[in-house]
Structure 1
Amino acid sequence: MSAALSALLNKGVADVIFKKVKRLIYALSFLILSISCLITWRCYELLSFLDVSGFGLYIFLSAFLLYGFGILAIYAFCKVLLMTAQRSGL
């Protein structure tokens, strides 16, 4: 199946589908990013309240932000691949 998806990506089918649904993907990405930033800010306030300071605080928050952005990127990529596969009949 990966060969079929690679062939679709090489043909540019994913580009056409992405152009059609990019507003939806960007809106959902903005929503997820906003929620992730809000949760990160709340974690920062909680850790500051608990007197966690120094590099540990920033390492924890950086790791959480990287995790949030990673999930966001994986979601967008999988959504485009799924729509590509559905439109092509796979």
Structure 2
Amino acid sequence: MFYERFDLSYLLIGAVLVLVVVGHYWLARLWAWAGAIIPLAYLAFVGWLFATGRVSGLLDVGLLLLGLLALVAYWSKARESARKAAERGT
């Protein structure tokens, strides 16, 4: 049945996707500091993973660091895009 596979992991992935979309809007349109909420929320999630013992090896740590690097790069790129849009006057 479909609901047997629909667990907390799927809900967390969906929530992260929504946060990324909202974070992009904040970064590109409103406030630069608000875009930092997404990486901070990710760090809180990673902290929860460590606290509950769900991180079991070096590969897990590497993938979590890769995710953080991707979020920081995404934030930086969105800030650059917002700065260019402000220079154009749009």
CA drift at 1:47: 6.2
One-letter amino acid of the counterpart of residue 38, structure 2: I
CA drift at 1:66: 0.8
Aligned equivalent of 2:65, options 62, 66, 70: 62
Q: Which structure carries more helix by proportion?
A: 1
Query: Paired residue for 1:40?
Result: 43
Unaligned runs of 5+ in 2: 1-27
CA drift at 1:50: 6.1
**RMSD, aligned CA:** 2.7
Corresponding residue pairs, total: 62
Identity level (%): 13
TM (norm. structure 1) is 0.51
Alignment of 1:4-83 (within 5 A): 28-46=31-49, 49=52, 51-83=54-86
Task: Kindly indicate whether structure 1 or structure 2 has the higher relative contact order, using CA contacts under 8 Å at least 6 residues apart.
Answer: 1
Q: Which aligned segments of 4 or more residues in structure 1 are displaced greater than 4 angstroms?
A: none
Larger Rg: 1
